[in-house]
Amino acid sequence: MNILITGGYGNIGVMAVRESLKRGHRVTVFEVRNKATEKKARAYEKCGVTTRFGDIRNLDDVKKAMTGQDAVIHMAAILPPVSDRRPELCHQVNVGGTQNIIEAIQSMSKQPALVFVSSASVMGPTQDQQPPVTWDAPLNPTDAYSSSKAAAETLVRASNTALCVLRLAAVMPTILILNSMIKMVKLMYDMPLAARCEIVLDEDVAFALVSAAENLVGSGEMRGRTGFIAGGRQNGLQISIDAMLKGSLNPLGIELPAARLFSDDLNAYYLDWYDTDALQSILHYQNHTYDQWQAMTKRAYRYLKPLVTLLRPFVQKWLERQSPRY
């Protein structure tokens, strides 16, 4: 199968590229051109991946990349915190880019299936509700990013294409990605430690995305479906913000900063526990447990931990100073 992955050189995108290749699919990545994506393009060219550089806001660029594809996994987007600093760009890419994807699909005689990657953030704060959050609960976006994803979902569902909408919960990396760790530090103090949080490993997300594409092109149970991609209660991945942050920091030898540095408003953040039963029954993607995540994290950090241990007092103090409540 020919699969186009937009944003395929982002953190989750790379995992989807790897999963697609592992299953024997022919992969094309659509990306904006910069030094980082050029480097990854050169690396993945050796694995048979074709890279199409372009601007998702440009319909012609999108159409060229879409030619000959059987399925599109669309995850190119402007994410927080950039989306908060540049809300107009966020709307242009996340909503306008999605509109271009739809128009490109509809212009083709053989229309590829569409896996639209959304976010659980479209649900807004739900800590005052009984979990788990269901896919058909009212949307309540609260910032530029979640509003753009909610608007894009509306566009996708209104299109006459073979599609599904997958809302990602808190995605945990299984490889060392320093820029992601730094971004988490900048965001984590807005998270109330006692709030519910469901995490999912990036490998399982990639498994779900590629499985959804295969299903749309094949038997079709995923057509028209909207749902959450999250780790699952049975895997011990319905936890708290406190457990998520400790699980991310402790393998590096770093202690979670004092609770007073974090927001105490339970509805200050959008994460929660989610109903994933229907999609899991089709996609069978919940393949890792909390303990396995910890083991994989420790393995990924094994070379960095000695340095962090040596500099622990300085790292700990730097971490605390990132809080607006310091």
Map residue 154 onto helix, strand or coil.
helix
Give the model's pLDDT for residue 176: 65
Fold entry, domain 2-173+200-229: Rossmann fold (3.40.50)
CA distance 232 to 236: 7
Give the model's pLDDT for residue 113: 98
Average confidence (pLDDT) over 224-230: 98
**Hey, CA dihedral for 42, 116, 19, 249, is it positive or negative?**
positive
Over residues 15-39, the pLDDT tens digits come to 999 999 999 999 999 999 999 999 9
Burial 19-32 (b: 16+ CB within 10 A, else e): bbbeeebbbbbbbb
Confidence of residue 179 (pLDDT cuts 50, 70, 90): low
Residue in the block written with tokens 């049975």: 234
Average confidence (pLDDT) over 247-265: 92
The full set of domain ranges for the chain reads: 2-173+200-229
CA distance 156 to 172: 26
Average pLDDT, the chain: 95
Asked if the model's pLDDT at residue 243 lies above 90, the reply is: yes
Average confidence (pLDDT) over 223-235: 98
Give the model's pLDDT for residue 34: 96
Over residues 258-295, the pLDDT tens digits come to 999 999 999 878 999 999 999 999 999 999 999 999 99
Residue type, 192: P
Asked if the model's pLDDT at residue 309 lies above 90, the reply is: no
Over residues 201-216, the pLDDT tens digits come to 999 999 999 999 999 9
Give me the percent of the chain exceeding a pLDDT of 70. 98
Give the model's pLDDT for residue 160: 86
What is the DSSP annotation of 168-229?
E-EEEPSS--HHHHHHHHHHHTTS-TTSEEEEEEHHHHHHHHHHHHHHHHTT-TTTT-EEEE
- Tell me which of 301 and 114 has the higher pLDDT: 114
Asked if the model's pLDDT at residue 186 lies above 80, the reply is: no
Asked if the model's pLDDT at residue 42 lies above 80, the reply is: yes
Confidence of residue 177 (pLDDT cuts 50, 70, 90): low
Average confidence (pLDDT) over 250-261: 92
Asked if the model's pLDDT at residue 236 lies above 70, the reply is: yes
- Tell me which of 304 and 132 has the higher pLDDT: 132
Confidence of residue 178 (pLDDT cuts 50, 70, 90): low
Over residues 77-124, the pLDDT tens digits come to 999 989 999 999 999 999 999 999 999 999 999 999 999 999 999 999
Residues written for the chain: 326
Asked if 52 and 65 count as a contact pair (C-beta separation under 8 A), the reply is yes
- Is 152 exposed, middle or buried, given 0-12, 13-18 or 19+ CB atoms closer than 10 A? buried
Asked if 251 and 182 count as a contact pair (C-beta separation under 8 A), the reply is no
